[in-house]
Structure 1
Amino acid sequence: MAHTEYPRSYYAASANPVPDRPELLGGAEADVCVIGAGYTGLSTALFLLEYGFKVVVLEAAKVGFGASGRNGGQIVNSYSRDIDVIERTVGPKQAQLLGQMAFEGGRIIRERIATYGIQCDLKDGGVFAALNGNQMRHLEGQKRLWERHGHHQLELLDATRIREVVNTGRYLGGMLDKSGGHIHPLNLALGEAAAVERLGGVIHEQTPAVRIDRGPNPLVHTPRGRVRAKFVVVAGNAYLGNLLPELSAKSMPCGTQVITTEPLPEPLARELLPQDYCVEDCNYLLDYYRLSGDRRLIYGGGVVYGARDPADIESIIRPKMLQTFPQLKDVKIDFAWTGNFLLTLSRLPQVGRLGDNLYYSQGCSGHGVTYTHLAGKVLAEALRGQAERFDAFAALPHYPFPGGRLFRIPFTALGAWYYSLRDRLGI
């Protein structure tokens, strides 16, 4: 069987040391078999172990191989569609429960880092940056919305204040979320995997799930092994493949691109982001960036529908970086990579159960760092018999992409073109 390594990224190059986690050979038994060792799977496994379950995790490649180890590393609250959209979709009662959970994922991340001593360059503070008046008015409304749901660690930034936190002339204002922040995402995943093993969980890398025999005691098959369990949690997201065909019609893998500069001189790094906050703009196809622990600028943006790998990532992202920070025109790019996230038509996560004992969570739609940690807790609660919060997510409506699998990419790309045109026109 082929051995899959991490893609060449800054995160892989600066990852903390990890133990060898061999492929599953032969049979294993567990209370719960978790498929996928990204944030969703690791968070679920960790909560289950803390609750006393016996857990086996199957990973097709390596811990954090997918979006969990390649993303922008930003701790951003709420969901890809905000609470007001959920309220219009499902009504105030369900939206109230989902709103209460919208800010929990970031707290879970910080608790994990503190409890298990995870070294992942945690920094506090995240900024939403407005490029025009409409976006600024949106942030003003977002602040009122989040405060209505109990989140008060917010500060609106006028044109003067935003220049104090991000040194560019692009923005006319913004909003600081003091409970936001940023981390080395792969090292967070690796630290969580180590915590899983410390509590007695078992992780098998290079072990894709190839088939699930459903029934009272499902059997998960791998190329050279199998796991018999009472429950299965499927947490593969954009890297799940066709393991559960009934889920694939309602989601689509998409790629996003990231570049990382060479280490910047300290005065230059401090000039760009004086408070060391992470930043994302308010465009539909947004840019996001931050400083790493060793003072590199990590800059991402763009979406490739259907998860193709662009031939020249730097040529896509570097112009965006220079539009924000023209002072970096002579700075070398050391790393450029792409990674897939799973998009749903509603841009809300898909959570549910197939039969009595096969659970899943997927489709973070580019907003997964905090949500996946919450999802792990919600899934673990459901397996303990406390399903109110799970049911609130499971009741969200989801629809297949128009035109089926053949046309979902062009239809979605057309929609993205429309919204990116609105971004450019400031509508």
Structure 2
Amino acid sequence: MSYIDTFYRRTIAEDRRFPLLSGTVECDTCVIGGGLAGITTALQLARAGQTVVVLEAERIGWGASGRNGGFVGSGFANDGDAIARMVGPESAHKLHALSIEGMSFVRDTINDLNIASADPIHGIMSVLRYDDGEALKARATVLQRDFGYGVDYLSRDEVQAKLRSKRYFQALRDPQAFHMHPLNYLRGVAAEIERLGGKIFEASPAIANDFSQPEKIVHTDAGKVKARCIVVTTGGYTTGFLPKLKRSFLPIATYVMLSEEAPELIRQAVDTTHAVGDNRRAGDYYRVVEGGKRLLWGGRITTRAASPAALAAELRREMVSTYPQLADLKIETSWSGLMSYARHLMPQIGQLQSNVWYCTAFGGHGLNTTAIGGKLVAEAILGQSDRYNLFKPFGLVWAGGLAGLTVAQLTYWKLQAQDWWRERSSV
């Protein structure tokens, strides 16, 4: 099994494969899913001296974890005001602080393990597509006052000096957030797990289980794992291995494209190394890669995976409508990936039963929240903290099945219409 053709696959630091599981393996904890959440959990447990096994159905980082835009910032898929309405201001404050901790964890891990191929570049700009600078100034004030977290307010003139588009108004620039090569990061962490004695198996999907006894058993096609603890960290590609988990979130597709090499042309539009995202619910996100030679551009969501090539045509139209000067920029490749979204738009972290954990549904904010999710589950297993309980209000709520997908698509179209009207009002 190989990686999906993406910018990340083309630029992966190494392509060594981990073996397929055969026979019986025993360990303290078995982690099911080799994405960001699973690899983080396994790393923290291995650092603490546990024997750890990771089972991955495809390749490490094969799903959305290794195909995403590479943005590492704070926050969740749901916005802060909505979270506060659900759990109250105090818990919302603690949750946002965890999201900042998750971002710092990724940065520290890159530094501690010297994962140079992750190529972290600091700075993310969150831009408005309508005029509302006062709201951004207020947000900057709250972040500094409540979290000691400094971000820079940029006026429209300052934004357009770097992003030469009439679509944009004001922005917040986060100098602590960064963007990176997620697949190289994952493989760097996987190498450290192996160095610490952990075992990673690829092409080894979990197909059956017996969790009825203190010793848990997970079966694959060619082997089985016996473990005291199980952590399930699968996302948008989850199968029916645990039906209750699969029913609790929706697989949502998002799309990314990569331009040809055209550094001079790209610089006419995007003259910054910062990653950029706009304020719409499913807005554009993009960044220059390979030292400014190419533009990586993502956006759009659908409830059914469509042809990446067809969606790339839509993404390209969006890019050109934002930056008419990029009309001649050719697209070299495009791809999609399935994220997992719960109805409440928050991560799902907790226990199905004693010693059987889940850590999933990170939506479009996975690079920081998977890190903190994996860290919290590891802390709980090791008896170090019960901080995972902050996510208890966001349980395994049934996502609605096919009806839920329909509602999600209708909601997305509604949000698109609201975004369009608000932008029109600012013209």
Where in structure 2 are the equivalents of 1:338-353 lying within 5 Å? 338-353=336-351
Which consecutive residues of structure 1, in runs of 5 or more, have no partner in the other structure?
none
Instruction: Output the CA distance in 2 between the equivalents of 1:236 and 1:398.
Output: 14
1:5 to 2:13 alignment: no
Provide the residue aligned with 2:62 in structure 1.
Answer: 65
Instruction: Output the CA distance in 1 between the equivalents of 2:408 and 2:72.
Output: 26
Instruction: Output the CA distance in 2 between the equivalents of 1:19 and 1:311.
Output: 29
Instruction: Output the CA distance in 2 between the equivalents of 1:271 and 1:152.
Output: 32
**Residue by residue, what CA displacement relative to the aligned partner does 1:360-395 show, whole Å, maximum 9, x if unpaired?**
111112111111111111111010113431111123
Decide which of 413, 416, 424 is 1:417's aligned counterpart: 413
Provide the residue aligned with 1:29 in structure 2.
Answer: 26
Instruction: Please give the secondary structure, in 2, of the residue aligned with 1:77.
Output: coil
Decide which of 197, 207, 213 is 1:200's aligned counterpart: 197
Instruction: Please give the secondary structure, in 2, of the residue aligned with 1:317.
Output: helix
Instruction: Output the CA distance in 2 between the equivalents of 1:315 and 1:293.
Output: 23
Instruction: Output the CA distance in 1 between the equivalents of 2:266 and 2:178.
Output: 17
Decide which of 400, 403, 409 is 1:407's aligned counterpart: 403
**Residue by residue, what CA displacement relative to the aligned partner does 1:107-144 show, whole Å, maximum 9, x if unpaired?**
1111111111111121000000101135x454334323
Provide the residue aligned with 1:241 in structure 2.
Answer: 239
CA positional deviation for 1:171: 0.5
Where in structure 2 are the equivalents of 1:262-341 lying within 5 Å? 262-265=260-263, 267-294=264-291, 295-310=293-308, 312-341=310-339
Decide which of 148, 156, 159 is 1:159's aligned counterpart: 156
1:84 to 2:81 alignment: yes
Tell me the matched-pair count: 420
CA positional deviation for 1:310: 4.8
Instruction: Output the CA distance in 2 between the equivalents of 1:117 and 1:48.
Output: 20
**Residue by residue, what CA displacement relative to the aligned partner does 1:117-174 show, whole Å, maximum 9, x if unpaired?**
111121000000101135x454334323433431422011111111233222211111
CA positional deviation for 1:263: 1.7
Instruction: Output the CA distance in 2 between the equivalents of 1:41 and 1:318.
Output: 33
Q: Partner amino acid for 2:26?
A: E
User: Are 2:163 and 2:271, in contact at CA under 8 Å, matched by a contact in 1?
Assistant: yes
- TM-score, normalised to structure 2, is 0.94
Instruction: Output the CA distance in 2 between the equivalents of 1:229 and 1:204.
Output: 15
Instruction: Please give the secondary structure, in 1, of the residue aligned with 2:290.
Output: coil
Of 57-66 and 410-419, more deviation after overlay is shown by: 410-419
Which consecutive residues of structure 2, in runs of 5 or more, have no partner in the other structure?
none
Of 383-392 and 106-115, more deviation after overlay is shown by: 383-392
Structure 1 residues 149 and 379, CA, compared in 2 at 3 Å: closer, same or farther?
farther
CA positional deviation for 1:398: 5.5
Instruction: Please give the secondary structure, in 1, of the residue aligned with 2:4.
Output: coil
Instruction: Output the CA distance in 2 between the equivalents of 1:288 and 1:414.
Output: 22
Q: Partner amino acid for 1:420?
A: Q
**Residue by residue, what CA displacement relative to the aligned partner does 1:243-263 show, whole Å, maximum 9, x if unpaired?**
211122221001101100012
Q: Partner amino acid for 2:375?
A: K
What is the RMSD of the two structures over their aligned residues, measured on CA atoms?
A: 1.7
Of 40-49 and 148-157, more deviation after overlay is shown by: 148-157
Where in structure 2 are the equivalents of 1:356-395 lying within 5 Å? 356-395=354-393
Of 313-322 and 253-262, more deviation after overlay is shown by: 313-322
User: Are 1:252 and 1:306, in contact at CA under 8 Å, matched by a contact in 2?
Assistant: no
Instruction: Output the CA distance in 1 between the equivalents of 2:394 and 2:409.
Output: 24
User: Are 2:346 and 2:361, in contact at CA under 8 Å, matched by a contact in 1?
Assistant: yes
Q: Partner amino acid for 2:203?
A: Q
Instruction: Output the CA distance in 1 between the equivalents of 2:323 and 2:148.
Output: 31
Provide the residue aligned with 1:354 in structure 2.
Answer: 352
Provide the residue aligned with 2:252 in structure 1.
Answer: 254
Q: Partner amino acid for 1:93?
A: E
Instruction: Output the CA distance in 2 between the equivalents of 1:103 and 1:395.
Output: 20
- TM-score, normalised to structure 1, is 0.94
Provide the residue aligned with 1:217 in structure 2.
Answer: 215
Provide the residue aligned with 1:186 in structure 2.
Answer: 183
**Residue by residue, what CA displacement relative to the aligned partner does 1:255-300 show, whole Å, maximum 9, x if unpaired?**
10110001223x4444433330000000112100001124210000
User: Are 1:34 and 1:234, in contact at CA under 8 Å, matched by a contact in 2?
Assistant: yes
Of 157-166 and 345-354, more deviation after overlay is shown by: 157-166
Provide the residue aligned with 1:40 in structure 2.
Answer: 37
